[in-house]
Amino acid sequence: MALVGHPHVFDARQPERRLELVAYPAELVVEEQKSGYQLKLSHQAAEATVFLEEETPTRYRVIDFPEKLVELQEIIGRTGVAAPRQARDRVVALLKKNNPTLPIRADVGLVDLPAVAGETTPVVQLQPRGDGLLVTLRVRPFGSKGPLYVQAMAEPRCLP
């Protein structure tokens, strides 16, 4: 975590490649299902750790998973907690609660909150691959400082 934002982090496999490390939180994920709602953590671990996830070849998310999340995981289990449809009001109240300690990611249709338009400009990621280029389309809905998300469900394509 101490390397997040540090200007002198490089890829050991390609020492000339500078890496950007950005802090990203673990989240409580709420999914609406036929029988009700499933609440689980976005990341899981047996002990406190740090996850490193590649966004691009030069940008990585650093996700801190402290002991308090290991303890929470022990309470809700690795598969999470199921809530029946009748608990909708309680689930919605949880989603509307501002909790900076554990951000919540939920299905859009679950709660009637005002939507905020995100940035829709596609980000084209090009990576050398063999004798061609690997092309991946992504989007950064929260702007240039935010995380990248896959824009299309198609597999990355290698162009000759």
**Amino acid in position 31:** E
Q: What is the pLDDT of residue 158?
A: 55
Do both 107 and 143 map to the same domain?
no
**Amino acid in position 7:** P
Mean per-residue pLDDT, 95-100: 66
Is the per-residue pLDDT at 151 higher than 70? no
Q: What is the pLDDT of residue 127?
A: 75
Q: What is the pLDDT of residue 65?
A: 94
Which of 5-19, 63-77, 124-138 bottoms out in mean pLDDT, i.e. has the lowest?
Answer: 124-138
Residue partners of 29: CB distance under 8 A and separation at least 6: 39, 40, 41, 42, 80, 104, 105, 106
Listed residue (70, 69, 53, 50) closest to 61, CA to CA: 53
Do both 101 and 134 map to the same domain?
no
Find the domain containing 127 and state its range: 118-160
Do both 43 and 85 map to the same domain?
yes
Do both 143 and 110 map to the same domain?
no
pTM beyond 0.75: the answer is no
Separation of alpha carbons 131 and 4, rounded Å: 33
Separation of alpha carbons 138 and 119, rounded Å: 11
Separation of alpha carbons 102 and 86, rounded Å: 24
Do both 20 and 82 map to the same domain?
yes
Separation of alpha carbons 140 and 19, rounded Å: 18
